[in-house]
Amino acid sequence: MAPSPRDTVLAYHRRTKHRLDGYAAGPEALDWDDQPAAFRSFADAEKVRLPLLDTQGPLPDGQRQTPSLASLGALLQLSLGLTAWKSYGPDRWAVRANPSSGNLHPVEAYLLLRGMEGLADGLWHYRPDDHRLECRARCATPTDAAPQLALILTTVPWREAWKYGERAFRYCQLDVGHAQAAVVYAAALLDWSVKEVPLDHATLTRLSGTDRDDDFHGGRKGRADTEREEAELLLALDVAGAKAAFDAAAVHHWRAALANAQWSGAASTIDRHPQYQWPVIDEVISASRGGRMPTPQLTPFLADARHILQRRSAQRFDPRHILPLRDFVDLLAVTAPLDASGFHLLLFVHRVEGLDPGVYLLPRNEAGHQLCAALSKPPETVLDIPGLGPLLKLVSADPKKLQGTARQVQCHQDLAASGSFSLGMVTAFADAIAAEPARYRTLYREAGVIGQALYLKAEALGVAGCGIGCFFDDAVHQLLGLQDESFQSLYHFAAGLPVLDPRIETLPPYAHLQDDDPMTASAPLQADAPYHCIPADEAARMILDSRAGKLPGLILLDSRDAQSYIQGHVDGAMNLSGANQDRLLLKLNKEAPVVIYCYHGNASRTHAATFTDFRFKHVYSVDGGYAPLAAALAEAERPATTPAAALSPALLAFLAEWHFDPADLNAPRKNSLTPLMRAALLGNEALVAELLALGVDIATLNSDGNNALWLACVSGNGAVVQRLIDAGIEKDNRNLLGSTTLMYCASSGKADMLKLMLDNGADPLVENFDDARAADLCATMECLRLLRTSAR
C-alpha cells in the first residue's frame, strides 16, 4: 500500500534534517564548471526588451502607475531582476532583487497579460538576465476588456538539488516565498495590490504552459527531472482599479484562450550532465500538491526602491557592532502584519543595546507561549513590541558560550555568531501537515516572506541580513525542550553590520543592455537574434579563411579574463574586457565580421548583443566557447600524414563537450579536473583506456588534492579503478585534508570500491590530519568488517 501524502511529506521532512552527526543526503562532489544554467530562455519565441529604471533619477515611490511597458519593467526589475554582477578573478555571478538559497535561483516567472500596450495578449516568460519578455503563447481576447496582469511563479528544483541534494525542496519553497514578497514590495511602489489566487496543480500547469513537456526536454540532452518546472502559485495584480479581478471566470477564460493559442519557444537546457538523482524530491512534490491555500501575506511597509536595488546577503558581520534597541524592535516589527502567522521567533541575541546576551522567544499567539512549557523555569518578559507582543528571555548566557551554541546549531556558520543577533522561525507543524500536506509548501513560503521583509528592513536601517537554511534541526528544537514534531524550526536569519570583501568587484546589472538610442530599449526583437550563434567548427572555418586571405578584416575577440587569455588563446584574438570594450566599440570597423568567444558560449552572447546594439553588422558568438573552438582549429590543422597521433572521434567529442584543449591532454579546467579525471568521474572505461594509452599524466591532482583514482571511486566503476591502479596511479595519495581514496570509500559506504582498493594493496593504516584511519570513518558495518578483516 502506497504511503499517504501526509506520511510522504513527514518522511521527507525527517530524512532531510541536518543532524550533529551527519548532514542530509547530498552530492559527494560539486563540479562548479558545470553547474545548472542560472537563466532559462525560449528559443524562437518573440522577444520584447523592457525599459530599465533610470537609477540616477526618480524611482517609483508609491504613486499610482498606469499599466505600461515602463511600469511592468519597473515591477519586474524591482522584484525579480538583476541588481548587480559580482566578480572575483575569473568567476562572475549575478545578484537579484529576490534572495535565493545559495544564489541558485530556482524561481522562474511567467505573465498572463491582457490589454498591455506593446505586448500581445497571452503568456510571456520573463528573462531577468536581459530584462526581456519572451512570448510563449498568443491568445485571442476581447478588444474592450480591461487590462489584466497575473504573475505565475514556477521552480526548477534541480537548480537547488544540484548543490543541496535531498533538502533542496525546502529551499525551493523558501525562494518562492522570497520572490512572492519581492513582488508585493515592488508592486506597492507602483500602488498596485497583489493577491494570491489558490488554484489546483492542473490549472497552474496549464496556465503556465509547464504541462507542455515537449517544450522543456523533448529531443534534447538532460533528464526530465532536471529540466522540469513545477508550477507553484499565481499572483493577480490589480493594475486597473480592480476592474479586472482574477476570479473563476478569468481562470476559465485563460484556460480556454491558451488551449487555442499560438504557442512558440523551446526551453533552454538547464543541465546537460546531471550526476545525481534525488527521487524523494519527486515524491514530496507530488505529495504536497493537494489542496492549495494562499500564503499569509504581508501588509508591506513602503520600501525605498534604492534599498531593494542595494539589498545583498551579508557574507560577514562586524563582531563588534552593537545594534540599537530601536532598530532591533523595528526589524522584528516588520513580521507583524502577516495574516494569521503562526511563526514564533527564537532569537540568539549577541549584541543588542539594552538586552543581555541570551536566548529569547517572541511568541506570535497563545500556541507560542506553550513553547515555554518544557523549560526548567518560566521566561522573563523584557519588553513589549508593538503589534507583536512580549519578548521573553529564556536564558541569559555568557557571550562566548552563546556564540558557540548559535554557531554550532546553525551548521557551524560564523554568520550566526558574529551578527548582532540570529533567529529561528518556529511554527506549529505536525497538526498542520496532518490536516493538509500542501501546508508544507505554504509554511516554507511564509518563512521566505518573513525573510524578505527582514532583508529589506535591515537594508533600510543601514545593516544587512542573511538567510540561513542550513541548521541542525533537532539541535535547535532541543533548546526549547521539544521532543516531538508539534513545532519545527523551518528557516533561520541573521542580521548585523556587514563587512565587505574588497576583493569582490561589483558591476552594474544591465550595462550590456545600454544603448545609444534609448528609444530602442523597448523595441520588439526578432525571434532570430540580430547576431549569429555559430558552432565551433564554423567559427574555425571563418578564422582559417581569414588567415588565408579569403575573409579579410575579420575581428576575433576573446572575452575571458586576462589570466586565461595569457595562458592560451586563439592566434590573432584580442582580449575583450570591461577596460577596453568602449574603445573597441567606437574604433573597430562596423562592416567587418566580428567573432567573439568566451569560456562556454554564454557571456559571448551578451557581448555579441552589445556589438549589435552599436550597429556592428556581422557579429558571431561561438557556441561552447574557447575549448571546442581550439579543438576545431587543431583538428582542421592536424597534418593528414600523422594518423598515429589522431584521437578517436569519441575522445574528440568528449574533449569538445567538456571544453578541454585537445592539444594538451593534461591541461585542467578551472577546478583542476583534467580529461583523465573527468572521464574517471563519468566512469567511462573506454575513454580512460585511450587517455592512458596516449600517456597522460596520472599524478595530476585536482583543486581538492585528489587524483583520478578518487574520482573513479566516486563513479563506482570498478573497471576504471582497476585500469588506473594497473597504470601505476598512487593508491594512498592524501588530499588537502589528509584523506585517502580508501577513506572516501569507507566514509561513503562504497563497500565494493573499498574491497577493490584493499585487494590492490591500499593501506588501511594511513591517517588523515585529524589522526583518523579509514576504519574510524566507516559509514556501514560492511565497510568496517572489510577493514577489520584486512588488518588481521
Average pLDDT of the chain is 88
Instruction: Say whether pLDDT at 195 is over 70.
Output: yes
Hey, is 719 helix, strand or coil? helix
pLDDT of 317 reads 94
Instruction: Say whether pLDDT at 664 is over 90.
Output: no
Which helix H or strand E contains 132, and what residues bound it? Answer: strand 132-138
Q: How far apart are CA 135 and CA 143, in angstroms?
A: 19
- Residues annotated as catalytic are 598
For the segment 608-636, the average pLDDT, to the nearest whole number, is 88
User: For the stretch 632-643, what's the b/e string if a residue is b when 16 or more beta carbons lie within 10 angstroms of its beta carbon?
Assistant: bbbbeeeeeeee
| Band of pLDDT at residue 642, cut at 50, 70 and 90 | very low
**CA proximity to 742, closest of 776, 769, 717, 696:** 776
Strand 193-197 with 148-155, pairing: unpaired
| Band of pLDDT at residue 514, cut at 50, 70 and 90 | low
Cell of 351: 549584541
**Per-residue DSSP letters for 244-302?**
S---HHHHHHHHHHHHT-EE--EEPPS-SS-----HHHHHHHHHT-SS--PPPPP----
Hey, is 5 helix, strand or coil? helix
Contacts of 229 (CB under 8 A, 6+ apart): 108, 154, 155, 156, 208, 210, 216
Cell of 230: 513545477
φ/ψ of residue 324, rounded to 5: -60, 145
Q: How far apart are CA 770 and CA 739, in angstroms?
A: 9
C-alpha distances in Å from residue 261, one per residue of 67, 202, 206, 258, 715: 23, 18, 12, 5, 46
Do domains 34-287 and 308-505 share one topology? The answer is yes
Cell of 70: 515602463
For 307-334, the pLDDT digits (tens) are 999 999 999 999 999 999 999 999 998 8
Q: CATH topology for 643-791?
A: 1.25.40
pLDDT of 791 reads 63
Cell of 234: 499565481
Residue type, 587: K
Instruction: Say whether pLDDT at 593 is over 90.
Output: yes
Q: How far apart are CA 535 and CA 101, in angstroms?
A: 34
Cell of 86: 559580482
Per mean pLDDT, which range of 235-239, 337-341, 532-536, 556-560 is the poorest? 337-341
For the segment 698-718, the average pLDDT, to the nearest whole number, is 88
- CB burial class (10 A; 0-12, 13-18, 19+) of residue 414? middle
Q: How far apart are CA 660 and CA 673, in angstroms?
A: 10
Residue that the C-alpha cell 527521487 belongs to = 279
The DSSP output letter for 101 is G
Please state the pTM of the whole predicted model.
Answer: 0.72
Q: Is 128:245 a contact under the CB 8 Å cutoff?
A: no
Q: Give the residues across from 496 on adjacent strands.
A: 464
Q: How far apart are CA 443 and CA 362, in angstroms?
A: 18
For the segment 454-469, the average pLDDT, to the nearest whole number, is 95
Which helix H or strand E contains 556, and what residues bound it? Answer: strand 555-558
φ/ψ of residue 154, rounded to 5: -125, 170
Strand 122-127 with 107-114, pairing: antiparallel
For the segment 115-120, the average pLDDT, to the nearest whole number, is 90
Residue type, 376: S
Residue that the C-alpha cell 550533529 belongs to = 20
**Per-residue DSSP letters for 406-475?**
HHHHTTT-THHHHSSEEEEEEEE-HHHHHH-TTHHHHHHHHHHHHHHHHHHHHHHTT-EEEEE---BHHH
For the segment 281-295, the average pLDDT, to the nearest whole number, is 87
Residue that the C-alpha cell 522573563 belongs to = 380
For the segment 172-196, the average pLDDT, to the nearest whole number, is 95
For 138-172, the pLDDT digits (tens) are 998 776 677 889 999 999 999 999 999 999 999 99
Residue type, 714: V
For 721-731, the pLDDT digits (tens) are 999 999 999 99
Ramachandran region, residue 351 (left: φ > 0; alpha: ψ -120 to 50; beta: rest):
beta
Per mean pLDDT, which range of 158-167, 229-238, 500-509 is the poorest? 500-509
Hey, is 313 helix, strand or coil? strand
Please state the domain extents for the chain: 34-287, 308-505, 528-631, 643-791
Neighbouring C-alpha atoms within 13 Å toward the C-beta of 613: 22
Q: How far apart are CA 783 and CA 710, in angstroms?
A: 17
- Class in CATH terms, 34-287: alpha beta
For 554-580, the pLDDT digits (tens) are 999 999 988 788 778 898 899 998 778
The DSSP output letter for 3 is P
User: For the stretch 13-36, what's the b/e string if a residue is b when 16 or more beta carbons lie within 10 angstroms of its beta carbon?
Assistant: beebbbeeeebbebeebebeebeb
Taking the chain, what is the end-to-end CA distance rounded to the nearest angstrom? 47
Cell of 663: 592539444
Residue that the C-alpha cell 524530491 belongs to = 281
Q: Give the residues across from 88 on adjacent strands.
A: 91
Q: How far apart are CA 516 and CA 639, in angstroms?
A: 48
Instruction: Say whether pLDDT at 644 is over 70.
Output: no
- CB burial class (10 A; 0-12, 13-18, 19+) of residue 254? buried
User: For the stretch 180-213, what's the b/e string if a residue is b when 16 or more beta carbons lie within 10 angstroms of its beta carbon?
Assistant: bbbbbbbbbbbebebbbbebebebbbbbbbbebe
Higher pLDDT residue, 791 or 38?
Answer: 38
Q: How far apart are CA 479 and CA 374, in angstroms?
A: 10
- CB burial class (10 A; 0-12, 13-18, 19+) of residue 374? exposed
Share of the chain above pLDDT 90, in %: 57
Q: How far apart are CA 698 and CA 721, in angstroms?
A: 12
| Band of pLDDT at residue 517, cut at 50, 70 and 90 | very low
C-alpha distances in Å from residue 56, one per residue of 53, 85, 305, 306, 311: 9, 18, 12, 10, 17
Share of the chain above pLDDT 70, in %: 93
Neighbouring C-alpha atoms within 13 Å toward the C-beta of 745: 32
- Geometric angle at alpha carbon 721, from 718 and 722, rounded to 5°: 90
Higher pLDDT residue, 218 or 161?
Answer: 161
Which CATH homologous superfamily contains domain 308-505?
Answer: NADH Oxidase (3.40.109.10)
pLDDT of 515 reads 43
User: For the stretch 464-501, what's the b/e string if a residue is b when 16 or more beta carbons lie within 10 angstroms of its beta carbon?
Assistant: bbbbbbbbbbbbbbebbebeebebbbbbbbbbbbbeee
Residue type, 135: C
φ/ψ of residue 669, rounded to 5: -90, -170
Residue type, 631: A
| The domain made up of 528-631 is a member of CATH 3.40.50.720 | no
Q: How far apart are CA 731 and CA 764, in angstroms?
A: 11
Q: Is 83:310 a contact under the CB 8 Å cutoff?
A: yes
